[in-house]
């Protein structure tokens, strides 16, 4: 192989890598993206340690300036979030944080909570099968909006989000409805899940590394929630 052929091969190799990277970025930006569940606000539908894939195409994926939260434009949406959808969106309080909640009402609908019972347009909202209430107390609206709220009419182009763990979720009851421009995607399926390691040992410097790695390897099989892998999120 002469020098000319070698240069041609290198160009083809580099071009192939660039095309592959470009396709990966396009898929991540506009089609599907992975997310991690760090808190218990969606229990028992989603658990801490679940890793899920989200469909970004269905709601019209936002295209942001790389490394920022500034959106350049959105792809056309197939549809808007609907009541019952589990949605990933930017936090209305902190654009650097992604949140995941269930949409319970859309623009024009009226939300009211009376003694923990959620009503949408005057009708009881059917709680998801794995939603839960962990606090037997019912707090008055004057104390906290968790158990008694509204009535509140969702503005057009906005969505009212709530966690399935109703008593342990900061959501639209606290910070209001979510505008469409903050919507990122619809939760699809769980591709990995493991229980958090609460027993230690934990990393405390290079000297602790062998014990931490040994613990991680030996406990990994027992921490994986095999029954959740591949679950479709509803």
Greater confidence (110 vs 23) lies with 110
Least confident of 64-73, 111-120, 206-215: 64-73
pLDDT tens per residue, range 49-90: 999 999 988 998 777 666 666 666 777 888 999 999 999 999
| Contact by Cβ (8 Å): 106, 154 | yes
Tokens representing 229?
């892998």
- In-domain check, residue 164: yes
Q: Please tell me whether residue 28 adopts helix, strand or coil conformation.
A: helix
Which of 224, 181, 204, 220 lies closest to 50 in space, CA to CA? 224
pTM of the entire predicted model = 0.82
Number of structural domains in the chain: 1
CATH of the domain at 29: 2.10.109.10
Percent of the chain with pLDDT over 70: 82
Q: Tell me the C-alpha distance between 36 and 47, whole Å.
A: 10
The chain-wide mean pLDDT, for the chain, equals: 85
Is the C-alpha dihedral spanning 91, 95, 98, 104 positive or negative? positive
Task: Please state which of the ranges 12-21, 40-49, 110-119 shows the lowest mean pLDDT.
Answer: 12-21
Q: Which residue segment(s) compose the domain that 219 sits in?
A: 20-228
Q: Catalytic residue numbers?
A: 41, 101
């Amino acid at each position: 192989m002469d020098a000319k052929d070698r240069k041609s091969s290198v160009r083809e190799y580099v071009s192939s890598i660039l095309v592959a990277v470009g396709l990966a970025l396009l898929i991540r930006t506009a089609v599907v993206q992975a997310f991690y569940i760090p808190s218990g606000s969606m229990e028992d539908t989603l658990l801490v340690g679940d890793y899920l894939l989200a469909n970004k195409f269905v709601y019209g994926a936002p295209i942001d300036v790389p490394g920022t939260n500034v959106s350049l434009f959105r792809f056309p949406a197939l549809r808007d979030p609907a009541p019952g959808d589990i949605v990933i969106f930017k936090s209305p309080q902190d654009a650097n944080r992604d949140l995941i909640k269930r949409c319970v009402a859309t623009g024009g609908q009226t939300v009211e909570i009376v003694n923990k019972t959620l009503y949408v347009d005057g009708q009881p909202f059917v709680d998801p099968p794995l939603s839960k209430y962990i606090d037997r107390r019912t707090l008055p609206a004057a104390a906290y909006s968790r158990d008694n709220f509204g009535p509140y009419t969702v503005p057009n182009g906005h969505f009212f989000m709530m966690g399935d763990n109703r008593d342990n979720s900061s959501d639209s009851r606290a910070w209001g409805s979510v505008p469409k421009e903050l919507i990122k995607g619809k939760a699809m399926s769980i591709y990995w899940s493991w229980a958090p390691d609460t027993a230690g040992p934990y990393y405390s410097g290079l000297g602790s590394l062998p014990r931490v790695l040994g613990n991680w390897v030996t406990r990994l099989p027992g921490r994986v929630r095999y029954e959740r892998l591949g679950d479709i999120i509803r």
